[in-house]
Amino acid sequence: QVSREETDQLCAENTGSVARYSSSFTAWEYFPRDLEERRWPAAVLAMYEDLGLVHRFGIERSTLARFVLMVRKGYRDPPYHNFSHAYSVAHFAYLMLKNLQLVESRCLDDLESLSLLTACLCHDLDHRGTTNSFQVASRSVLASLYSSEGSVMEQHHFAQSVCILNTDGCNILSELPPKDYTQCLDMVRGMILATDLSRHLSIMTELEAMASGGYRSCEPRHRRLLHSLLMTAADLSDQTKRWLSSKKAAKLVYREFFSQGDMEKQMGNDPSEMMDRERAFIPKLQIQFLDDIALPVYSLMGSLFPACEEVYAQTKANRRCWQRMADICSRRNATNVQSIDVFD
């Protein structure tokens, strides 16, 4: 639960316009974590308000304040998958809604906008810093609950979201008519499940077909494909920021991967190279990740939404930096450079 004074303080905070947080708060290059941590909940409230969602869906400000504080409490503190990641992902969804005018251009409707922002905020709730395959290998409680349907962690993230919505005074959807409520929850579920990268990889062909043929908002399948693409674009958005920020984010991801690899070794299992601090050559792994996953996402976004091209360009620039790092390290014979040192 969150305390009354915390809620009252956040609720009373005149979140005002988003410009209070930064004059570049709505710029693609803005790095949301540059805002001091204690102001992140107020910035989330400001995003809901700025998108007109508070007014449109009759959301009580104190309910929204309690909801955001409960979500923040619902995150643990692994190196990467903590509330700062959730807040950053929600901010990128806000940037896409705002800068691509997704509602104004009728690509999405208001309910989808509310679902997208809420799904981003909740999409990694209670993450432990380990992957779906680790849940199954370690026979975790979550695996016993969800492994039959796959996307173990993502199903848990959604279940946690529903728990928070069902907590007294936290249900930001309570004023929605029953049909909209059910539809919103269904979309939030689909959006959170879409952040399972293996699901994303399985719809890449359909996404490419939609991008080349053109988005048809009248087709329900296209709308769901767009939801998935927007979620992955937001989830990976650290890689679209200036080099030092995206490099720092990658460092935190590999800290999580390597501690999982250490646990796998203790369990007597062999970790994949990406998780093994003895074997991983990070610049090469990062180039692979950008080439196989991140760049195609922002390339698709760029072809669907021309205003998104600069995001793709910055991600390509970051890939060139990783390539330079790979060249330097392999000249300096990377094998003896402790793999995590490449970040210093």
Ligand X SMILES: COc1ccc(Cl)c(-c2nnc3c(C)nc4ccc(C(=O)NCC(C)C)cc4n23)c1
Taking CB under 5 A as the criterion, the residue among 112, 154, 196, 235 binding Zn ion is 235
Which window, 94-102, 176-184, 187-195, 210-218, contacts Mg ion (CB under 5 A)?
187-195
Q: How far is CA 283 from CA 26, 317, 325, in A?
A: 30, 14, 6
- For residue 63, the partner it binds in Zn ion, Mg ion, ligand X, none, with Cβ less than 5 to 8 A by kind, is none
Q: Does 151 sit near Mg ion (CB under 5 A)?
A: no
Residue nearer to Zn ion on the CB measure, 50 or 235: 235
Cβ(131)–Cβ(259) under 8 Å? no
- For residue 297, the partner it binds in ligand X, Mg ion, Zn ion, none, with Cβ less than 5 to 8 A by kind, is none
Cβ(113)–Cβ(234) under 8 Å? no
> Looking only at residues 121 through 180 of this chain, which bind Zn ion when binding is defined by CB under 5 A?
124
DSSP states of 244-312: HHHHHHHHHHHHHHHHHHHHHHHTTPPPPGGG-TTT--HHHHHHHHIIIIIHHHHHHHHHH-GGGHHHH
Residue nearer to ligand X on the CB measure, 115 or 195: 195
* Nearest alpha-carbon partner for 99 in 272, 233, 257: 233
How far the first Cα of the chain sits from its last, in Å, is 39
Q: Does 264 sit near Zn ion (CB under 5 A)?
A: no
Q: What residues are labeled active site? A: 81
Residue nearer to ligand X on the CB measure, 171 or 195: 195
- For residue 253, the partner it binds in ligand X, Mg ion, Zn ion, none, with Cβ less than 5 to 8 A by kind, is ligand X
Q: Does 230 sit near ligand X (CB under 6 A)?
A: no
- For residue 236, the partner it binds in Mg ion, Zn ion, ligand X, none, with Cβ less than 5 to 8 A by kind, is ligand X
Q: Does 301 sit near ligand X (CB under 6 A)?
A: no
Q: Does 198 sit near ligand X (CB under 6 A)?
A: yes
Specify the DSSP class assigned to residue 125. Answer: T
- For residue 315, the partner it binds in ligand X, Zn ion, Mg ion, none, with Cβ less than 5 to 8 A by kind, is none
CA distance 97 to 107: 10
* Nearest alpha-carbon partner for 71 in 59, 50, 85: 85
Cβ(98)–Cβ(26) under 8 Å? yes
Residue nearer to ligand X on the CB measure, 176 or 236: 236
Q: Is the dihedral of CA 265, 246, 204, 192 positive or negative?
A: positive
CA distance 20 to 36: 12
Residue nearer to Mg ion on the CB measure, 103 or 249: 249
Q: Does 253 sit near ligand X (CB under 6 A)?
A: yes
> Looking only at residues 35 through 94 of this chain, which bind ligand X when binding is defined by CB under 6 A?
none
What's the closest the beta carbon of residue 27 comes to ligand X, in angstroms? 21
Q: Is the dihedral of CA 54, 58, 60, 66 positive or negative?
A: negative
Q: Does 289 sit near ligand X (CB under 6 A)?
A: yes
Residue nearer to ligand X on the CB measure, 21 or 80: 80
> Looking only at residues 232 through 251 of this chain, which bind ligand X when binding is defined by CB under 6 A?
232, 235-236, 239, 250
**Which residues does 55 contact at the CB level (< 8 Å), separation at least 6?**
49
Which window, 20-28, 67-75, 191-199, 328-336, contacts ligand X (CB under 6 A)?
191-199
Cβ(308)–Cβ(301) under 8 Å? yes
Q: Does 124 sit near Mg ion (CB under 5 A)?
A: yes
Q: Does 232 sit near Mg ion (CB under 5 A)?
A: no
CA distance 153 to 227: 19
> Which positions touch Mg ion (CB under 5 A)?
124, 195
> Which positions touch Zn ion (CB under 5 A)?
124, 235
> Which positions touch ligand X (CB under 6 A)?
195, 197-198, 232, 235-236, 239, 250, 253, 274, 289, 293
